[in-house]
Structure 1
């Protein structure tokens, strides 16, 4: 697993995992609780606004770039399992890609789309908001833990390199 490219991928992934773990932690620790204290229409409007703005922000290149770098580290780790740090890179990459990227695409994004299409002024819209907060936040906890665990594993992988 030698090479400047792997070292660069590890450093980028460490920083990216830290930034995204912090973002996800914010929502898990207090943002969703704050939104729940707003009336339904205001809470939905706030979350929808965040979901629209985040798609056109620096978050997106970081989200995509970190997903690709973690996948690359998982593959490199798998191909070089006998080298120092490779198993940690493999585990970190797999945990991040599945626990952050795949979870986001399968569980969080569809809920965001449903929320955006809802009318919070209706009984169905209010019920969706209640369900959204519980389910979306639960999956966000997974993203937070996966990003944090991957960060630790990438640090271990970097520390194990010659």
Structure 2
């Protein structure tokens, strides 16, 4: 039974991490630049709209579910240490939870909240800071989500 649970969690996490990595990759490589091309006020307005809508979308169950399954996988890997794929499973879980979830909560979400509260006089300065710092941390989320997906795939292959 534990092997079935482990396999389901590994597949779910590998796919979830991959999907989220793709979303973050799109923001890092062209969405943020496209928003910036519209000007500070329009870019901030569009990003605020995205931030509101994303909370109402299927992104949230995937975001939270992948985080939970990755954390559970890291714990299972510790319990099953030494079995095939346990190192990849542990590293994938920790990397995803810290590099994606913690980064999101500590850096990206507070920046989103600050952007949502800007007044029209502060838009240019706040947008410049937001664009630079938010995107930098989004690169971290892109890389760690991609690496976690690859590590979960390696764990599947090892099993």
Task: Please report the TM-score for the alignment, with normalisation by the length of structure 2.
Answer: 0.98
Specify the alignment match of 2:85 in structure 1.
Answer: 85
Gaps of 5+ in 2: none
Specify the alignment match of 2:64 in structure 1.
Answer: 64
Residues in 1 aligned to 2:103 and 2:66: alpha-carbon distance in whole angstroms: 14
Residues in 1 aligned to 2:150 and 2:94: alpha-carbon distance in whole angstroms: 13
Specify the alignment match of 2:145 in structure 1.
Answer: 147
Residues in 2 aligned to 1:15 and 1:155: alpha-carbon distance in whole angstroms: 9
Residues in 2 aligned to 1:160 and 1:89: alpha-carbon distance in whole angstroms: 10
Residues in 2 aligned to 1:36 and 1:44: alpha-carbon distance in whole angstroms: 8
Q: Tell me by how many angstroms 1:81 deviates.
A: 1.3
Q: Tell me by how many angstroms 1:2 deviates.
A: 5.2
Residues in 2 aligned to 1:88 and 1:78: alpha-carbon distance in whole angstroms: 11
Q: Which has the higher helix share?
A: 2
Q: Tell me by how many angstroms 1:91 deviates.
A: 0.2
Residues in 1 aligned to 2:81 and 2:118: alpha-carbon distance in whole angstroms: 48
Equivalenced residues, count:
159
Gaps of 5+ in 1: none
Task: Please report the TM-score for the alignment, with normalisation by the length of structure 1.
Answer: 0.96
Counterpart contact for 2:99–2:140, Cα < 8 Å: yes
Aligned alpha-carbon RMSD (Å)? 1.1
Specify the alignment match of 1:127 in structure 2.
Answer: 125
Q: Deviations over 1:22-61 (max 9, x none)?
A: 0000000000011111121110110000000000000000
Runs of 4+ more than 6 Å apart: none
Q: Deviations over 1:132-155 (max 9, x none)?
A: 000000000000000000000000
SS in 1 for 2:84: coil
Residues in 1 aligned to 2:108 and 2:151: alpha-carbon distance in whole angstroms: 24
Residues in 2 aligned to 1:37 and 1:111: alpha-carbon distance in whole angstroms: 20
Q: Tell me by how many angstroms 1:125 deviates.
A: 2.5
